[in-house]
Amino acid sequence: MLLSGITSVNAQTVSNDVTVQTYQEVINGVECDVTTYDSDNLYKVNYQDSTGEKHIGILNKDTKELTVDGDVIEYSVTSGTPVLADSLSISTYASSDWTPVLVTKGIKVSCSPIFKSLGYVTTAIITAAGKTVGARLGSAKVGEVVGKALGSAAGDAVSKVNVTFKYDLYRTKNPVYVSSNASVKTTGYRYQNYAMNATYKGKTFSKTTTVRGSWWSSSNPY
């Protein structure tokens, strides 16, 4: 099932229970458009930047196979460590309903794509993350972190780069109006504290950031 030809702005559900999200990334000053398609049996990522570079990532949810532009890529996803409810009690002293409260720490996406370009690596990470978080990682600004970590390295389109992309899950202290057009208050969730470690040609590259994604709501954040 190839979901080409579907277009959308922001997140919405279209026919055949396909959720579509379109957003922008910036990698080392280059603007990129990313569109994700999430259905029952596959997760697809369309990437295109302002220079004309394009990539398509597909994660088959039935076979668990991940490809970018047809290349099969090894990957794994670690769900992280849930924070016990008792340790969240400090949030009761916070003054705002929007105060971020840590829910899960140390979610990790690991993959080993060929270092063809920063955009190719970014597509691989976003597609691999779709295994557990679907389109929700999209607004996490993955490309920004990839650019900061690997921007000084030159890809050769032959050698693999081993990447581990890490982040934490937070929720709002209390239910809020997550979007400007929301009519009901719900608990907001977002990913933040993005960090990346990579090894390439014997060298290690790493970046820890305070980058965070946008708030979203769901009865089940995974």
Q: Strand pairing partners for 192? A: 168, 212
Residue 2 lies in a domain: no
pLDDT at 106: 92
What would the pLDDT profile of 46-95 be if each residue is shown by its tens digit?
999 999 999 999 999 899 999 999 999 999 998 889 986 655 545 455 56
pLDDT at 3: 32
Residue 75 lies in domain: 10-217
Share of the chain above pLDDT 90, in %: 40
Cα 138 to Cα 143: distance, rounded to the nearest angstrom? 10
How many domains are there within the chain? 1
pLDDT at 136: 59
Cα 95 to Cα 187: distance, rounded to the nearest angstrom? 16
Residue 30 lies in a domain: yes
Cβ neighbours for 131, distance < 8 A, ≥ 6 positions apart: 43, 59, 61, 64, 75, 77
Burial code (b: 16+ CB inside 10 Å, e: under 16) for 67-94 equals ebbeeebebebeebeebeeeeeeeeeee
Residue 131 lies in a domain: yes
pLDDT at 132: 60
Residue 193 lies in a domain: yes
pTM for the model stands at: 0.78
Helix 118-133 × helix 142-150 angle, to 10°: 140
Longest Cα–Cα distance of the chain, Å, equals: 53
Q: With 70 as the cut, is the pLDDT of residue 9 above it?
A: no
Residue of higher predicted confidence among 157 and 168: 168
pLDDT at 1: 30
Mean pLDDT of the chain: 81
Residue 12's pLDDT band, with cuts at 50, 70 and 90, is: very low
Residue 5 lies in a domain: no
Residue 4 lies in a domain: no
* Pairing state between β 188-200 and 216-217: antiparallel
